[in-house]
Structure 1
Amino acid sequence: MDALIETTLAFVRENAAWAFWISLVFAIGENLALISIVIPSTAILLGVGALVATGQVDFLPIWAGATIGAIIGSFISYAIGWVYGDTLLSFRPVAKHADLIEKGNAAFRRWGALAVLIGHFFGPLRAVVFLMAGIARLNLPVFIVINVVGCALWAYVTPKFGEVAGYVFGWIWRALGF
């Protein structure tokens, strides 16, 4: 994983024009059901954000790419949950935990779209929240509105956190005389 992160950040550092596309691809991966577990997208988006602090890339293409990628990935996950939810829930590892499935459905009945918004900001939830929204048959227009807002906020906060951390570490580095 570390090699992928380092290679990707080195590529973006050398090819700033690709920052939009790199952010888009990794944001799709970060928001696809279960795929996000194996791709270090958050670390890459934080790292790309840190490159903003060094002046090597601009923030706007990162934010735009991550927003569009998050929308694409989360909508694919929602559609998979809507279309294949019952089939997915019948697979052995999932079917053995019917109580967790019911808790997920109850969360959507109780919190609705707010569960989607919150899911954007909690890594373990992001892997399944959009899939569960489709399975729970969360109203599509409501999902669209809250998800686009959540995607834009997540795509702003994640690399911005990396940028701010980059500024802080740079300041500390200079303060220590390195």
Structure 2
Amino acid sequence: MDIEFLKASIVEFVQTHQAHAPLVLGLMTFAESLAFVSLLLPTTAILITVGFVLAAADVPFWQIWAGAACGAFLGNWVSYAIGRRYKEAAYRTWPLSRNPKLVARSESFFRRFGPWAVFLGRFIGPIRAVIALIAGIFLMPPVLFQAANMASASAWAFLVLGPGASLVHHLPW
């Protein structure tokens, strides 16, 4: 199969369905930011690639950024709500029950950095999966959590999608 044909087919498909791009990205980043699911679906590398493809298809960056940021924000919000509701019982749920070191490291990270842990944790792969849950378990004030959540989701979405969007027209692919 010719790589140029494959590239053209993918770009054409994305251009045809570009109205759905923000929703699809939102669902992907929701899963990436949701406790439990994020441990099973490491989508960061896929998101970087998607940034390239969407830029090649001339989908406006602000649309894909908004979809990705909203999904990431909502995923952490749901994780936070689960933590507030179920407290430490959430730790006994698979896959967290099989990762006690991850939970211990995340709790230590949260104790050390407090509200900043929610912002910084978004950028640290394994911790991203559980930091919002831990913030809920530790009863972080909702307004403080949502401020850190919104700021980190916006910055993270930009950093994950930005390289592909900015470099795609400069690469010889």
Aligned-residue sequence identity (percent) comes to: 35
Provide the residue aligned with 2:166 in structure 1: 164
Bigger drift between 139-148 and 10-19 goes to 10-19
TM-score (structure 1 length as normaliser)? 0.78
Of the candidates 65, 68, 71, which is equivalent to residue 67 of structure 2? 65
**Are 2:30 and 2:72, in contact at CA under 8 Å, matched by a contact in 1?**
yes
Q: Which amino acid aligns with 2:123?
A: F
- Distance in 2 of aligned mates of 1:40 and 1:11: 24
- The 5-angstrom pairing of residues 23-172 of structure 1 reads 23-90=25-92, 101=103, 103-170=105-172
Cα 1:19–1:92 change in 2 (3 A) is closer
Residues 96 and 39 of structure 1: is their aligned pair in 2 closer, same or farther, counting only changes over 3 Å?
closer
Match of 1:121, SS state, is coil
Deviation at 1:67, TM superposition (A): 1.0
Unaligned 5+ residue runs, structure 2? 1-9
Equivalent position amino acid for 1:61 in 2? Q
Query: Deviation digits for residues 100-123 of structure 1, max 9, x if unmatched?
Result: 655533432321111111111122
56 and 103 in structure 1: CA distance in 2 versus 1, 3 angstrom threshold: closer
Secondary structure of the equivalent of 1:145? helix
CA distance in 2 between counterparts of 1:43 and 1:13 reads 21
Three-state SS of the structure 1 residue aligned to 2:171 is helix
- Give the letter for the 1:142 counterpart: L
Report the Cα offset of residue 13 of structure 1. 4.6
Deviation at 1:38, TM superposition (A): 2.5
Q: How many residues align?
A: 166
TM-score by length of 2: 0.80
Q: Distance in 2 between matches of 1:19 and 1:93?
A: 30
Q: For residues 123 and 10 of structure 1, do their structure 2 counterparts lie closer, same or farther at Cα, with a shift above 3 Å needed?
A: farther
Counterpart CA distance in 2 for 1:133 and 1:100 is 15
CA contact (8 A) 2:33 2:76 kept: yes
Note if contact 1:49-1:162 (Cα within 8 Å) is conserved in structure 2.
Answer: yes
